[in-house]
Amino acid sequence: MKTPLKIGELATHCGVALETIRYYEKIGLLPLPHRAANGYRVYGTAHIEQLAFIRHCRALDMPLSDIAALQQFADEPSGDCGEIDSLIETHLARVHERLASLQNLERQLLNLRAACTSGRCVQECGILHELTAAAQGDGCVCHSQTPVSN
């Protein structure tokens, strides 16, 4: 891996859009890079590692605020690990909850799809009937036991 890198090279290397890098810099998630004489950003090994860390955490769908917190912890190696654990725990709970609600959602949509096959006109479309009836609280194939939470 050759260093230093220009922003476009860093972007390609880490599989990130280049505007995203500037965005991370703007919100203070990435430290300010050096600048070449022409004003171009210049990145070294530390930046590469840090961006890779951020992207890996994002691939785990962690919010940027969690990632910032993790970086803080990493900078104070003598602190207690418990907060890291609970951060992951909380995130896991979030994911788990979202997963359950998506599974419920999928089931409802499958039922909904089964209510109609195309070729008919809108008036007799089972899907619209189901959706309207459900909104009215009548019985229908797509029961909405668990409301979706975002």
Residues forming the site for DNA (CB under 7 A): 6-9, 11, 17-20, 22-23, 37-41, 58, 63-65
Contact with its own copies (CB under 8 A) among 19, 28, 106, 143: 106
Residues pairing with 35 in the sheet: 41
Round to whole Å and give the CA distance between 21 and 13: 12
Contact with its own copies (CB under 8 A) among 35, 132, 138, 143: 132
Q: What is the DSSP letter of 35?
A: E
Phi, psi of 49 (to 5 degrees): -65, -40
Please choose, from the candidates 60, 49, 62, the residue with its C-alpha nearest in 3D space to the C-alpha of residue 14.
49
Round to whole Å and give the CA distance between 28 and 128: 47
Contact with its own copies (CB under 8 A) among 56, 69, 138, 143: 56
Which residues of this protein are in contact with its own copies, per CB under 8 A? 49, 52-53, 55-61, 70, 73-74, 76-82, 84-86, 88-89, 91-92, 95-96, 98-99, 102-103, 105-106, 108-110, 112-113, 116-125, 127-128, 131-132, 134-137, 142, 144, 147-148
